């Protein structure tokens, strides 16, 4: 069954703050964006998540990971809230979040952060 999922990502590269689109650790949240609430969260490599993107299943759950202030600052670096449609998803219990398969999920739109604050 298709479902919608949400994640904060770079609007040009579609990558997140911990890993790039190829699954390589970037650590951007630890270095360049260390002002974020969860900048100390390691998100260690786990082979179970290779090929998957970390997401939320409700738009409002983005605020469990990022504060409004985080999101405003990230928007200045061209980050937005990416909305995906997916049929291949799973709950990842270790980090308590959803994950969608990167290759079978479709980015359907990008929400400008300012519109949800």
- pLDDT in 10s for each residue of the chain, 117 residues: 999 999 999 999 989 999 887 788 999 999 999 999 999 998 888 888 889 999 999 999 999 999 999 999 999 999 999 999 999 999 999 889 999 999 999 999 999 999 998
Contact 6, 82 (CB under 8 A): yes
* pLDDT score for 2: 94
Please work out, in degrees rounded to the nearest 5, the angle formed at the alpha carbon of residue 86 by the alpha carbons of 2 and 1.
Answer: 25
Show the 3-state SS of the chain. Answer: CCEEEEEEEECCCCCCCCECCCCCECCCCCCCCCCCCCCCCCCCCCHHHCCEEEEECCHHHHHHHCCHHHHHHHHCCCEEEEEEEECCEEEECCCCEEEEECCCCEEEEEECHHHHC
Backbone angles phi, psi at 91, to 5 degrees: -85, 130
Residue 58's pLDDT is 97
CB 1 within 8 A of CB 9: no
Strands 97-101 and 106-111: unpaired
């Amino acid at each position: 069954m298709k479902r919608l999922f949400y994640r904060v990502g770079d609007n040009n590269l579609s990558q997140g703050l911990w890993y790039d689109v190829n699954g390589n650790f970037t650590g951007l949240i630890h270095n360049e964006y260390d002002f974020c609430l969860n900048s100390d969260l390691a998100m260690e490599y786990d082979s179970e998540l290779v090929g998957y993107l970390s997401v939320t299943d409700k738009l409002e759950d983005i605020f469990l990971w990022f504060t409004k202030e985080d999101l405003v600052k990230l928007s200045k670096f061209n980050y937005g809230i990416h909305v995906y449609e997916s049929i291949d998803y799973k709950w990842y219990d270790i980090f308590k979040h959803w994950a969608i398969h990167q290759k079978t999920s479709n980015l359907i739109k990008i929400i400008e952060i300012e519109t949800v604050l």
